[in-house]
Amino acid sequence: MWASKILGLNLKERITGIGLLESLCQAAAKQPITVGFLGGGEGVAVKAAECLQAKYPGLKVGFAGERWDVGREMRDRVGKNSFSSSHPNSLLTSHPHIDILFVAFGAPKQEFWISENLDKIPVKVAIGVGGAFDFISGSVPRATKFLRLIGLEWLFRLILQPWRWKRQLALLQFLWLVIKQKLAIYYLI
């Protein structure tokens, strides 16, 4: 949002992974749609699914867990940033109908995993939702509405989880690109 303001773009609003997930679950609870939850720490996906089912009665959950039931090999590959995998046949038999799969491996792991596996798993849509399961399950507190509004949720999370500092370096690269773009626009005018 800051970048859009600096560059003079009109973005209506910021949509977070947790906001998208909650909106889709609320709508899915009223439809014949089954959702799945993949990722997060031990038990976090299951707890997030339970919390969402309590909040949105009628929500149908087809799968919730740390990994698809394709064995340790797949989990190890996800952990090592190597995303090639064989066809997950056991997934096809154990979870035959999931319309929307929410994947919480964190960026960019979740995006790589989805790209590599979407055509191999029985889901219609897969969406990376980052740390949304942590917030929904109550495993990690969410920043106050004020901090989210002013765009400092990342700072709150960094304070709570200092091991994330390397990830935050990407923000500096992004800031540099925004400044560079703004200067290019300024000098072209």
Cβ contacts of residue 86 below 8 Å, gap of 6+? none
| C-alpha separations of 29 from 33, 57, 123, 133 in Å | 7, 7, 17, 18
Return the HEC string of 116-135: HHHHHCCEEEEEECCCHHHH
Give tens-digit pLDDT for 73-116.
Answer: 334 444 433 333 334 444 444 555 899 999 998 888 899 999 99
Distance CA 109, CA 121 (A): 17
Put simply, whether the predicted model's pTM sits higher than 0.85 gets the answer no
pLDDT digits (tens, 9 = 90+) for 114-144: 999 898 888 999 999 988 999 999 999 999 9
